[in-house]
Amino acid sequence: MPFPKPVLIDTDPGLDDLLALVLALRSPVLDVRAITVVAGNVPIDACTANALRILEAAGVEPPPVFSGCAEPISPPVTRAEHVHGADGIGGVSEVWPVQHLQTESVHAVEAIPDLARRHPGKLTLIALGPLTNVATALERDPAALTNIREIVVMGGCGDGRGNVTSRAEFNFYADPYAAHTVIQSGLPVTVVGLNVTEQTLLSRARFHRRLASMEESKLRQFLFDATGPYFDFAMQRRGRDACPLHDPLAVGAVMDPTLIRTKRMVCEVVDKQGSTRGMMTAEPVDSISNAPTVQVAMEVEAERFLELFLEVMCR
Ligand code: RIB
Ligand code: CA
């Protein structure tokens, strides 16, 4: 696959989404063709405004932004303001207002199939939030989605642990029907779950050291301002001044697939209320079943990823 790789990012910004989007936009090996926004960490309007302000702060030629689904297919709604701030961006929306960028008029669930058709066999879809947009697009136009080269999903957990409940990761918990639909689609899906993302712990001190080495810029100030609360939450929750780079690792795995090692498995996502909502099951492939399979990330070269992340973000 020649570089740069064309990618479409579906996202619910959120602070780790912010880091993932900036990483992708600054990466010389990725070409971000479009951003689609889904409700998740915070409501759709806040997620959409965050996507626009991240693009303005990143100071790059902005790709088109398409706003998408406001509600999960599987109710009820689950949010994560306690992690990302009420505005989804660490409370800095007041001091970092959207200046001029606007979204496209087309809805994300129409844009995804259209983009897939326009880049047959070439587009990698990186999904960083609940899979509502992707599943809805898949159900409306399955033929179009077969044009997608790979779907890399930040979600689930290869060893069954969760971060919303003991068993369910947020993106899969927030819309289990959508997650199950994508996981069982038979499309080339790679799942980057908590079992690997929780190994990519970036300390505040290390991040700030590298930010300080950057030339002064709007982006540097934005990253300082916005990420503080993410580290604060990590400190409260883990007792360590370091945060996991969930969404950035999904982007990193597209930038350099050798950063993770995957295993082909048969996966399902539990779509029912109760203690197992959003839980991902992962079974080894057996020769008899012809159930759809996905690649599940089982190992990560965490330090090599962290160094790549800091090199691209802070150069
Ligand atoms: O569980 C982590 C995932 O849920 C990340 O994508 C984070 O942004 C939230 O959406
Ligand atoms: Ca996210």
Q: What is the pLDDT of residue 276?
A: 95
107 is a catalytic site residue: no
Q: What is the pLDDT of residue 160?
A: 75
Q: How far is CA 51 from the centre of its chain?
A: 12
**Separation of CA 136 and ligand 1 centre (Å):** 19
**Separation of CA 288 and ligand 2 centre (Å):** 36
Q: What is the pLDDT of residue 286?
A: 83
Q: What is the pLDDT of residue 315?
A: 86
Instruction: Give the position, in ligand 1's atom list, of the atom nearest the Cα of 163.
Output: 1
Which residues line the pocket of ligand 1, CB cutoff 6 A?
A: 12, 14, 16-17, 40-41, 80, 128-129, 154, 163, 169-171, 246-247
Q: What is the pLDDT of residue 229?
A: 86
**CB contact at 8 A, 126 and 10:** yes
- What is the best residue among 11, 22, 41, 50 to mutate for testing ligand 1's pocket, by most ligand atoms within 8 Å of CB? 41
- Residue ranges, the chain, pLDDT below 50: none
Strands (E), the chain: 5-11, 30-37, 65-67, 124-127, 150-154, 189-192, 201-203, 242-244, 260-269, 280-284, 294-300
Hey, what domains does the chain have and what are their CATH numbers? 5-314 (3.90.245.10)
* Interatomic CA distance for residues 29 and 15, integer angstroms: 23
- From the candidates 100, 180, 208, 246, give the one annotated as an active-site residue: 246
Q: What is the pLDDT of residue 1?
A: 55
- What is the best residue among 54, 78, 79, 128 to mutate for testing ligand 1's pocket, by most ligand atoms within 8 Å of CB? 128
**Separation of CA 215 and ligand 1 centre (Å):** 30
